[in-house]
Structure 1
Amino acid sequence: MKIVFLKDLETNETIAKDIYDEEGRLLIATGTKVSKGTISFLKKNNVFLVHVEDEKLSDIKVDRKMQKLKAKTLNKMPLIFNNILTGEYENTKEAMETVDELVDYVVEKGTINTNLYEVKLYDDYTYVHCLDTGIMAAFLGMSMGLTTAEVKELSISAMLHDIGKTKISNAIINKKSKLSDNEYEEMKKHPGFGRDILKNIGILSEKVVAGVYQHHERYDGNGYPEGIKGDEISLFGKLISICDVFTAVSANRSYRNRFKPNEAYELILASAGTMFDPKLVVDFKNTFFIYPLGSCVRLSNGIEGYVVKQNKGFPDRPIIRVIYGKTKEEEITPYEIDLLQHNDIIIDEVI
């Protein structure tokens, strides 16, 4: 299995992983042969990455259970938001059972092979952003040693972190250009709105509410709404802040293109001590890999290949399998390059 950008998807390739839309509905099933119509259909649905079969990379497997749980949870996200906003508290609890299932599986997996590119499969910036933030937070919390119950609360808080935006004018939320100063001041009210909404339903803990209210606070005190700093910020608030920023910059916006995975990763590391708690940035570095298994990369020596294994603790130094020569048509005997053993070679870009 390999990962390709939609722009590089070719007809007659075989889809290796179910493709869902931003609301969790199945678009294209595993095993589908790609046609021109398939490519056009996926483009209309804002999909920019797909998994396709490749016999030279057949040892790379898709985590189908995670895929199905994510789709199931994504499908429930509008219902969860609506139930909270309309006061349907019992129905909210029932809808959130899907979050429990997802977090239980994250904990069950034990070993983490989570990467920072596959987290964002869509350009959508609504429920998908909230779900991706929740999944990242769950993996990060688990790797830090939080209990299963704490990871579930953290994930719920992260998934609901932007619920306060439902109280912000659609004209501001959907604006196609950068916000004016006045509009930005209005947008900055959404953590407070989120806190009030969650407090009113009365079924979520103070830790969950604090995570939503504080996810825009900064470690150096230059955040909002309170301008608190350091350990004045709750653990949930500090964790969600990291995951929110990563998933936000990894999405295309009308006024800027998405960051590349290594750029988003470097942003998090460079912001240790200013935006983020330095200790949590270290946990972030030890939890996530930058380049997903099956992604095609170009190395600094000009060689192109696919990521087939990760080196724990070195998220930017995976093992690369080279399966073609100077062009994709040039057949060679596949071989592997362990970037941990070749410090003179780095990954230049994902292609």
Structure 2
Amino acid sequence: MTIKTVSDLQIGIKLAEDVYTPLGGLLMQKGKVLLPRDIEVLKAFMVEQVTVESVEGDSTRVPTVKSAGQKPSLLFSEQPQASAEEESSARKEQSLHEEYDKMLALIKRCYQSAITGELHMYEVRRQMQQLLEHQKDYYALKFIPRVTNRHDYRYHHAVLCALSSYKLAQWVGLPEKEWMQVAFAGLLHDIGNVRIDPIILNKPSKLTQEEQEEVRRHTTYGYQILKNVAAVNEGVRLAALQHHEKVDGTGYPLKLEGSRIHMYAKIVAVTDVFHAMTLDKFHRNAQSSYAVLEQLHLESFGKLDPMLVQTFIQRLTSFHHGMRVRLSNGSLGEIVFTDSKHPTRPMVSVHGEIVNLAQQRHLFIQEVIY
């Protein structure tokens, strides 16, 4: 290992130790291969020196020239490996989308069969297992289904809630044996909507008081549909019944307070709000994921379980350094640092300048690009 000043760093050198900001926040992780933007970020955070690997040739490599008359290209020996990693990532993403589409088609059929009280849970479990084999490649902030339309909103919402609820169950330390059941809770929490008039569900204008009361009945309808389904446990049934309850007792249908709401229902309540706001609906366009996370944070005061909300936000935003984003003013940039105190307002590099969204409150991340 070698300690180098930031001004002496060269492109392609690898960090041997984590790099922290002067205030103690993790800026870059051990093993990161430095790119030009990374060196600029280190300078922007006034990091004076870092520890790098002293592998022969790492610090002295120069870009190779493709051919005479062309500009130098930053091609190093790692480039083929990076391409292989990109191909592997593309294959994983393709597999995730394929299993997602199969699950989407299946939940459509389940909604239709649930009208008559039948749910083919053996088939649902088998497909859910195949989908969850790819859950490590699922990132809620960047995953976009290949084909979406407002008519299929409730089916996309169901599958996405299943994936995100499964993740949240892991993050908060629920026993592994419960993870699949939590995924079922996310998938089936709105199954009671099959008994609601589609004209009301798809109405683009504001609902009347009577229509609102009918829509709220989907919670009890859902419990009734699931109560005789042997493949799900009571937590799944209670998630259908209780996912609109609020921890302060102002929710529905039973106005339960936090201690009386089942953990599955609390988990699904968080993912339900997130995906409801980040998908296109008949009466509302999809909103920015980061803007929704900020609203979730506000909702946690007296409405949603604050521990679950905090965990959800922190885990979703903790591993997105290097992600390309579009800001609300149209600028394209890259997330370079996320402060745990302001997880929805990271620092973004835009044309070599650091934009601190925690300070520039008039801006926010409008879109995650990749």
* TM-score of the two chains, using structure 1 as the length reference: 0.68
Gaps of 5+ in 1: 1-56, 326-334
Partner of 2:111: 81
| 8 Å contact kept, 2:269–2:304 | yes
Quote the offset at 1:83 in angstroms. 4.2
Partner of 1:136: 164
Selected match of 2:254 from 196, 207, 226: 226
Gaps of 5+ in 2: 1-81
CA distance in structure 2 between the partners assigned to 1:287 and 1:118 by the alignment: 15
The correspondence of residues 144-223 of structure 1 with structure 2, limited to 5 A, is 144-223=172-251
Letter of the 1:79 counterpart:
R
Runs of 4+ in 1 over 6 A off after TM superposition: 57-60, 290-293
- SS of aligned partner of 2:327: strand
| Distance change >3 Å, CA 349–CA 287, structure 1 → 2 | closer
| Distance change >3 Å, CA 303–CA 345, structure 1 → 2 | farther
| 8 Å contact kept, 1:120–1:251 | no
Letter of the 1:188 counterpart:
R
Quote the offset at 1:139 in angstroms. 1.1
Partner of 2:69: none
The correspondence of residues 313-332 of structure 1 with structure 2, limited to 5 A, is 313=340, 315-316=343-344, 320=348
Selected match of 1:114 from 115, 126, 139: 139
Letter of the 2:122 counterpart:
K
Selected match of 1:66 from 91, 96, 99: 96
1:297-339 Cα distance to aligned partner (Å, 9 max, x none): 2388x963244x77595643557565xx5xxxxxxxxx69596
CA distance in structure 2 between the partners assigned to 1:203 and 1:343 by the alignment: 46
| Distance change >3 Å, CA 169–CA 113, structure 1 → 2 | closer
1:236-291 Cα distance to aligned partner (Å, 9 max, x none): 11111111111112223343333222221111100113210111111112221297
Identity percentage of aligned residues: 26
* TM-score of the two chains, using structure 2 as the length reference: 0.64
Partner of 2:131: 102
| 8 Å contact kept, 1:207–1:236 | yes
| 8 Å contact kept, 1:113–1:289 | no
- SS of aligned partner of 2:238: helix
| Distance change >3 Å, CA 189–CA 312, structure 1 → 2 | same
CA distance in structure 2 between the partners assigned to 1:345 and 1:230 by the alignment: 35
**In the alignment, is residue 284 of structure 1 matched against residue 312 of structure 2?**
yes
Partner of 1:297: 326
Which has the higher relative contact order, 1 or 2, with Cα contacts under 8 A spaced 6 or more apart? 1
CA distance in structure 1 between the partners assigned to 2:358 and 2:224 by the alignment: 51
CA distance in structure 1 between the partners assigned to 2:175 and 2:131 by the alignment: 15
| 8 Å contact kept, 2:140–2:164 | no
| Distance change >3 Å, CA 320–CA 190, structure 1 → 2 | same
| 8 Å contact kept, 1:116–1:261 | yes
CA distance in structure 2 between the partners assigned to 1:312 and 1:70 by the alignment: 32
| Distance change >3 Å, CA 255–CA 343, structure 1 → 2 | closer
| 8 Å contact kept, 2:161–2:187 | yes
| Distance change >3 Å, CA 215–CA 120, structure 1 → 2 | farther
Partner of 2:75: none
| Distance change >3 Å, CA 312–CA 94, structure 1 → 2 | farther
| 8 Å contact kept, 1:104–1:148 | no
| 8 Å contact kept, 2:294–2:344 | no
CA distance in structure 2 between the partners assigned to 1:187 and 1:280 by the alignment: 26
1:65-84 Cα distance to aligned partner (Å, 9 max, x none): 32232222222212333444
| 8 Å contact kept, 1:299–1:345 | no
CA distance in structure 1 between the partners assigned to 2:364 and 2:123 by the alignment: 46
Quote the offset at 1:146 in angstroms. 1.9
